[in-house]
Amino acid sequence: MAGTDAVSVRVFSLNCWGIRYLSKHCPQRYAMIGELLSKEEHDIVLLQEVWSEKDYLYLKKTLACSHPHSHYFKSGVIGSGLAIFSKHRIHDTFLYRYSLNGYPYMAHHGDWFGGKAVGLAIINIGSQTANVYVTHLHAEYCREKDSYLPHRVVQAWELQQFIRHTSAGADVVILGGDLNMHPQDLGNRLLRSYTGLRDSYLETAKFDGCEDGITLIADNPFTNKKELIPFEKGIRIDYILFKGSSEIDIHCDSMSTTKGSVSGHPFPYSDHEALTAELRLESVKAGGDRQSKTQAAGSGKLAELVDIVTEARTEVKVGLHCAERMRYTAARTGVMGLALLLLELAIAAVPWFAMGAEQPFPRTSFYLLAALCFAILLTTTLLYIFYTMELKSLQGAEDQMRLAVGSLQEKLRGFPLAQPHNAARKPPEGQEPSAFDSEE
């Protein structure tokens, strides 16, 4: 590690609501965002919903001096909407596309077309390696009857997997984005408990922003107030999370959000509020103090994690049940379409064979009905394929969760011999992995 001097890193995150020709005042808002960013000169800027590459290129040009390094993550039909700008060089990037992301026929919700994903950029800040993640999960359109909940839980599961597995070599981990989850939502607890990521809003002593840190506020002129009910003032769904490593301690010195209106401008930056966190990186001082503290807290946290993963598994099972029912409906409708087609062909063929060339079936109705049958067959086939893929992803996530619960319980039984999750992955020396229960 470098010297003992602390390094300060300012991180910015904003959901830009950048649907060209649909989002209000899009070009003006991008100009405002560009102006803000080039003035503030944050170290790392994480943007979501930059749906048009042209807007990304506009920002890239505007921020050429303040943020010479950038990357735009592409996926789905429209793109992932994820972009990162950095004062420090980006050495490497990687994109993980979530296996589940809504339904293509729910075109008015549009999430499927966006190809939701988590982008990773590896950035060197001074002598430290920072793994910086930016993501945007599936939106919640109706909290009471949230049909996308299993998808979002699987996204949160894959997000924590991706972060855990890719961050072993990092000194610092930073995640920013629109998680579309309230602070105590299942997916959020899963993410934070499993990865050990800390919430900058909860960690900071100095906060300046909207009450309760809300980022989707009722006061914002672009927000639909009705959609926020029963949360009158608004909800907190955008986050900057972080964690250090065995060599680097990280603290959040201050945290702020925008508060809707922007002085000197007639409207805010976006329908979401922007977040800024000031993080301080410090080399860990030698001594076993940290290790023993983690050990003590580990057992309780592991038990909590087992509960959370079990809860997530239950939610995925609900999704599995639902997807199975939808696939069954698609199959049944398809079979009915096929039966109708065969029936029609039989009716048309019988008098033809029996009574010669006379055809009592009106031709127009015949062709219209046949076209309808073909349309039903095609649609249900496509739906059947889609639901089968959804089922495979849900089953895959459930399998992984079952294995994880088994492994965590194993660890819990071995406590305090086994080490907590966030420490090195290796079991204590010479301890052979035992097999109380077989996973899978």
When binding is defined by CB under 8 A, the residue of 69, 109, 143, 251 that contacts its own copies is 69
What spatial distance separates the first Cα and last Cα of the chain, rounded to whole Å? 41
> Has 251 been annotated as catalytic?
no
Per-residue interface string for the shown chain with its own copies, residues 329-368, x marking contact by CB under 8 A? ----------------------------------xx--xx
Total H helices, total E strands in the chain:
9, 15
Site string for its own copies, 211-250 (x = CB under 8 A): ----------------------------------------
Q: Up-side HSE of residue 132: CA atoms within 13 Å toward CB?
A: 33
Residues 367-396 that bind its own copies (CB under 8 A): 367-368, 371, 374-375, 378, 382, 385, 388-389, 392-393, 395-396
| CB contact set of 31 (below 8 Å; sequence gap of 6+) | none
Which of 123, 134, 108 lies closest to 13, judged by CA? Answer: 134
- Which one of 41, 76, 207, 340 is in contact with its own copies (CB under 8 A)? 76
- Dist. CA 128–CA 171, nearest whole Å: 6
Tell which one of 19, 23, 31, 74 touches its own copies (CB under 8 A): 74
Shortest Å, Cβ 392 to its own copies: 5
Instruction: Kindly state the smallest distance separating residue 68's Cβ from its own copies, in Å.
Output: 5
What phi and psi values does residue 268 have, to the nearest 5 degrees? -75, 175
Q: In the complex, what is the shortest distance from the CB of residue 88 to its own copies, in angstroms, rounded to a whole number? A: 6
Q: Could you say which of 52, 99, 295, 310 contacts its own copies (CB under 8 A)?
A: 99
Size of the site for its own copies (CB under 8 A): 80
Between CA 249 and CA 242 the distance in angstroms is 11
Q: Which of residues 400-429 bind its own copies (CB under 8 A)?
A: 400, 403-404, 407, 410, 424-427, 429
* Catalytically annotated residue among 67, 88, 136, 272: 272
Instruction: Name the β-bridge partners of 97.
Output: 117
Q: Is 287 exposed, middle or buried (0-12, 13-18, 19+ CB in 10 A)?
A: exposed
Q: Confirm or reject binding of residue 70 to its own copies (CB under 8 A).
A: yes
Classify strands 234-235 and 172-178 as parallel, antiparallel or unpaired: unpaired
- Using the rule CB under 8 A, which residue among 128, 204, 220, 270 binds its own copies? 128
User: Under rule CB under 8 A, which residues in 79-98 are in contact with its own copies?
Assistant: 79, 88-97
- Shortest approach of its own copies to residue 80 CB, angstroms? 9
- Site map (CB under 8 A) of its own copies, residues 153-172, x = contact: --------xx--xx-xxxx-
Contact by Cβ (8 Å): 436, 413: yes
For residue 113, the tally of other CB atoms under 10 A from its CB is 17
Phi, psi dihedral angles at 170 (to 5 degrees)? -90, 145
Q: How far apart are CA 377 and CA 336, in angstroms?
A: 9
Judged by beta carbon, residue 210 or residue 408, the one nearer its own copies is 408
Q: Which residues are catalytic?
A: 272
